Amino acid sequence: MSMFAKRQSALAAAAGAPPAPRAKPSLKPLVAVLKKPPVVAALAGVFLLTSTALFLTVLGDPRAGAPSARIALDRAPAAPDAPAPTGFEAFSMGAMGLYQDLTGSGDPSGAAGGEALITLPDGASVAGGASYSAPVQPASPLPKAPIAGLSQPGPSGPLPMIAPDGRVPAQAYARPFRSNGKPRVALIVGGLGLNAVTTRAAIERLPAEVTLSFVPYADNLQSWIDQARAQGHEVMLEMPMEPSGYPDNDPGPYTLLANGTPDDVEAKLDWLLGRATGYFGVTNYLGDRFATSDTGMNAFLLILRQRGVAFLDDGSFQRRPGAWARASADKVIDQTQSPAAIIGALNSLEAQAKLRGSAMGTGFAYPVTVEAAARWTAGLDQRGLQLAPASAMTLRPGR
């Protein structure tokens, strides 16, 4: 039998045997020890200390018997930072309080304490916060509209026309421009006329070379255009055009529809173009679906050409030729409505202008857009560029 088997057998035998009887313990040795005098003294000392501690614990605490309460002091989680309002919220609700003070008393020196800086090309920087108000720009007035010979009566108001001597609205109402040889950059700010605060801010705080675009449905439209031109801005009207998702996404009752006939396009343009005078051109509001309609687009561009009006789009019409003069924007600057994103888009536009010789951007009149544009344009000349009106970017079809 192997050793492993022998061990198993011994364990089994031990497991089956009854336990051996235990001897009863004797207390005599312990009693003998306790009778010794040193041990007795030591035990007495231990007893005294134990009794004293027990007495103090139960009766000696001066606060014993006083009412008490136990409170769990859990650390409250830090409140999350409130999200910054979007440009749309600022535009529609007046959030951030931008441009409520239109007296020009804002400090143009930079950021308020703690605001992050946004770096521009060549090391310049601007603040990204809302505490800054761009200063009021000096006026550089344009001739008051209407200019004689450039309009005729229409069913809903005066319509633009080419004068008998050949003058056209696209030139007569444009801001004069003379190149200084530097790369040119142009900016269009649209959506104006609906919000008085932001409209006035765009008119007064942006340089005269920035082109302003107005909503045809705006109240007091002619008054707004007159104010803009008195400050020096050339202006455009926005043409509502059918977008994807129409009619859920509806630009209004005079929207140019993709399935509209030439007569329908002309009737709506009679109303839209007759809302005011003094504009050198028009631009699109939405319209990605209308842009795919050859019938609608051809009728639209033909009417503009016959009336001497320019068409500048936001870049979504792929530089389709037509109208009296044409241009397409290279970038929408405020697709993301934050100061940093808008400044980044403007910097990209600037780099494109330096590379190609010219570039044009377009944006909506969110307060954040107006503020960022005012800051960015302030240093263009020092950075080697020339701010130009949008009309200076147009070309006659075929040229």
pLDDT in the model for residue 357: 97
The fraction of the chain above a pLDDT of 90, given in percent, is 63
Using alpha carbons only, what angle is made at residue 153 by residues 297 and 276, rounded to the nearest 5 degrees?
Answer: 65
Residue 104, Ramachandran bin (φ over 0: left; ψ between -120 and 50: alpha; else beta): left
Residue 23 predicted with pLDDT over 90: no
pLDDT in the model for residue 322: 87
| Helix, strand, coil abundance in the chain, percent, nearest 5 | 35, 15, 50
pLDDT in tens, 55-101: 444 444 444 443 343 434 444 454 454 443 333 333 333 333 333 33
pLDDT in the model for residue 35: 56
Look up residue 176 and give its two tokens: 């004069």
- More confidently predicted of 205 and 31: 205
pLDDT in tens, 224-241: 999 999 999 999 999 999
Hey, is 101 helix, strand or coil?
Answer: coil
Average pLDDT over residues 249-270: 96
Nearest-angstrom CA–CA distance, 243 and 250? 8
| Confidence label for 269 from pLDDT (cuts 50, 70 and 90) | very high
| Confidence label for 43 from pLDDT (cuts 50, 70 and 90) | low
Residue 2 predicted with pLDDT over 80: no
Residue 114 predicted with pLDDT over 60: no
Q: How many CB atoms lie within 10 A of CB 26?
A: 8
**Residues with Cβ within 8 Å of residue 312, at least 6 apart in sequence:** 188, 236, 281, 282, 283, 326, 327, 328, 329, 360, 390, 393, 394
| Confidence label for 36 from pLDDT (cuts 50, 70 and 90) | low
Q: Report the candidate in 148, 298, 175 with the shortest Cα–Cα distance to residue 229.
A: 175
Average pLDDT over residues 267-293: 97
Q: Which ranges of 150-273 does DSSP label H, i.e. alpha helix? A: 169-172, 196-205, 221-231, 262-273
**Residues with Cβ within 8 Å of residue 147, at least 6 apart in sequence:** 167, 172, 173
pLDDT in the model for residue 161: 98
pLDDT in tens, 181-208: 999 999 999 999 999 999 999 999 999 9
- CATH fold, domain 169-393, is TIM Barrel (3.20.20)
Average pLDDT over residues 322-326: 93
Residue 283 predicted with pLDDT over 90: yes
User: What is the pTM assigned to this prediction?
Assistant: 0.69
